[in-house]
């Protein structure tokens, strides 16, 4: 369903009324397209006195076709190197660097702060670096005009941040703001030969792929060069085949909760028998308050959204089908972070995905060479949210820093970035910095 309010605020009467009444004034987001693959304008690189990686950042940004400027009247992005911030005085330098330029950032622009992980052995450094998180989350709520702010923590050389900065400094990250992302370790990094098709030669399995977010994920993975195997329930077979035929992929009608689901997935893979990207997108809702929720509604959601993810992941790792260098991306939800009335089953399952991600990620990387990350969507414009009552739907759209709902492609872009590599054990909220949750 079209967001008519967003369209109205782009008109002259809409701008006048929303300004006079103090209503949200969302700006249409500029997302990636073949005609608009990059941000338009300069990347302004700023530093604090204790910056550690400025020279390396210059080299990295230049290699990405984003040579940084030292001054710009209307930058498309601002990158601040605060990796050396280790005391309160260094935080004053953060203010000094950004205060004069933050108003000048172009509409749909980006602010990216580069920090370091808090050091448990140095409470002054830990305080300063943790302060950057509060700063960036607050800045994301202030910027407006489709602009975003994110914090990237680099544990070592900035080479581990290559894919993350490439993503954040592009239209692909339009609905990601107020997030804290830790890059590396180096073992998680795999720079592709061709950044225009970073998944070329790789095979991806997407569950829940017949429609909505799953279909969008398949679209973007194919755009980035992947071969796709698309899985959904047999009842969605007609739509699944349509999507697979359009993308040149393989359709796999299958109940993901079946006892032999893992074995049937293996049998459906291309003749080389390996899998490089596993996207757990399949999910269902069976909403009721807990007092009114029968056991079958509880079990159905936990079985599909969490139990099947655990069992198929275990099978594909144990059999070695998920190859070294592989990527697992599981779909959580802000409901799993903040909770949601009437969704105790759904929120439990999506919080379980976060627990799975954080626990499995270090072991999967050490034992199998595979990274594990999660994407946590907020209010995304789908057929399901179009059926939500009007007032609740409008609240979902407006209660975030960008004052609008996301699109399935926003979740797909985050998934494709995580499938490329460079991070591990991360849970990336794709919610426009929803006011719900942390």
Active site residues: 346
DSSP character for 157?
-
* Contacting residues for 126 by C-beta, under 8 A, at least 6 apart: 118, 119, 120
Return d(Cα 102, Cα 108) in angstroms, integer: 13
Is residue 213 within a helix (H) or strand (E), and if so which, with residue range? helix 212-223
Tell the burial category of 349 from Cβ atoms under 10 Å away from its Cβ (0-12, 13-18, 19+).
buried
Return d(Cα 291, Cα 285) in angstroms, integer: 17
Closest CA to 133 of 117, 144, 119: 117
* Contacting residues for 325 by C-beta, under 8 A, at least 6 apart: 190, 276, 369, 370, 421
Where on the phi/psi map is residue 51: left (φ > 0), alpha (ψ -120 to 50), or beta? beta
* Helix axes of 88-98 and 123-142: crossing angle, nearest 10 degrees: 30
Is residue 40 within a helix (H) or strand (E), and if so which, with residue range? none
Closest CA to 420 of 273, 250, 200: 200
Do the Cβ atoms of 335 and 274 come closer than 8 Å?
Answer: no
Q: Which residues are bridge partners to 282 per DSSP?
A: none
Tell me the DSSP string of 308-322.
HHHHHHHHHHHTT-E
Closest CA to 331 of 410, 237, 235, 239: 410
Return d(Cα 424, Cα 359) in angstroms, integer: 11
The beta-strand segments (E) located in 163-301 are 180-182, 203-207, 227-232, 250-253, 275-280
Tokens of 102: 């933050």
Question: Is the bond into 185 cis (omega within 30 degrees of 0)?
Answer: yes
* Contacting residues for 73 by C-beta, under 8 A, at least 6 apart: 104
Q: Which residues are bridge partners to 184 per DSSP?
A: 423
Q: Which residues are bridge partners to 430 per DSSP?
A: 377
Q: How far from each other are the two terminal CA atoms of the chain, in whole angstroms?
A: 28
């Amino acid at each position: 369903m079209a967001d008519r309010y967003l369209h109205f605020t782009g008109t002259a009467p809409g701008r006048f009324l929303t300004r006079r009444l103090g209503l949200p004034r969302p700006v249409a987001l500029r997302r990636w397209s073949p005609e608009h693959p990059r941000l338009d304008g300069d990347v302004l690189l700023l530093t604090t006195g204790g910056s550690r990686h400025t020279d390396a950042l210059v080299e990295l940004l230049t290699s990405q076709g984003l040579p940084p400027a030292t001054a710009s009247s209307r930058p498309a992005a601002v990158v601040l190197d605060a990796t050396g911030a280790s005391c309160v005085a260094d935080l004053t330098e953060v203010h000094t660097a950004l205060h004069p330029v933050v108003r000048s950032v172009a509409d749909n622009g980006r602010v990216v702060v580069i920090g370091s992980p808090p050091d448990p052995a140095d409470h002054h450094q830990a305080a300063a670096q943790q302060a950057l998180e509060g700063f960036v989350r607050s800045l994301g709520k202030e910027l407006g005009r489709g602009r975003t702010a994110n914090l990237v923590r680099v544990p070592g050389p900035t080479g581990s941040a290559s894919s993350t900065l490439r993503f954040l400094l592009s239209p692909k990250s339009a609905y990601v703001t107020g997030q804290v992302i830790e890059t590396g370790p180096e073992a998680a990094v795999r720079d592709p030969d061709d950044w225009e098709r970073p998944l070329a030669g790789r095979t991806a399995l997407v569950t829940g792929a017949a429609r909505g977010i799953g279909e969008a994920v398949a679209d973007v993975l194919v755009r980035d060069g992947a071969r796709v195997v698309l899985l959904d329930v047999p009842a969605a077979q007609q739509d699944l085949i349509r999507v697979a035929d359009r993308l040149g992929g393989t359709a796999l009608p299958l109940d993901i909760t079946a006892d032999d689901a893992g074995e049937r997935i293996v049998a459906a893979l291309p003749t080389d028998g390996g899998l490089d990207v596993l996207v757990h997108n399949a999910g269902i809702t069976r909403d009721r308050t807990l007092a009114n929720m029968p056991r079958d509604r509880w079990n159905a959601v936990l079985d599909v959204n969490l139990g099947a993810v655990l069992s198929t992941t275990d099978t594909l790792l144990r059999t070695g089908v998920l190859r070294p260098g592989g990527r697992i991306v599981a779909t959580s939800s802000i409901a799993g972070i903040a909770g949601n009335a009437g969704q105790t089953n759904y929120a439990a399952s999506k919080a379980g995905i976060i627990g799975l991600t954080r626990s499995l990620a270090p072991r999967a990387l050490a034992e199998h060479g595979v990274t594990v990350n999660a994407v946590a969507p907020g209010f995304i414009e789908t057929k399901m949210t179009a059926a939500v009552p009007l007032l609740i739907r409008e609240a979902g759209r407006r209660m975030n820093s960008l004052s609008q709902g996301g699109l399935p492609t926003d979740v797909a872009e985050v998934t494709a970035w995580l499938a490329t590599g460079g991070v591990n054990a991360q849970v990336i909220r794709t919610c426009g910095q929803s006011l719900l949750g942390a």
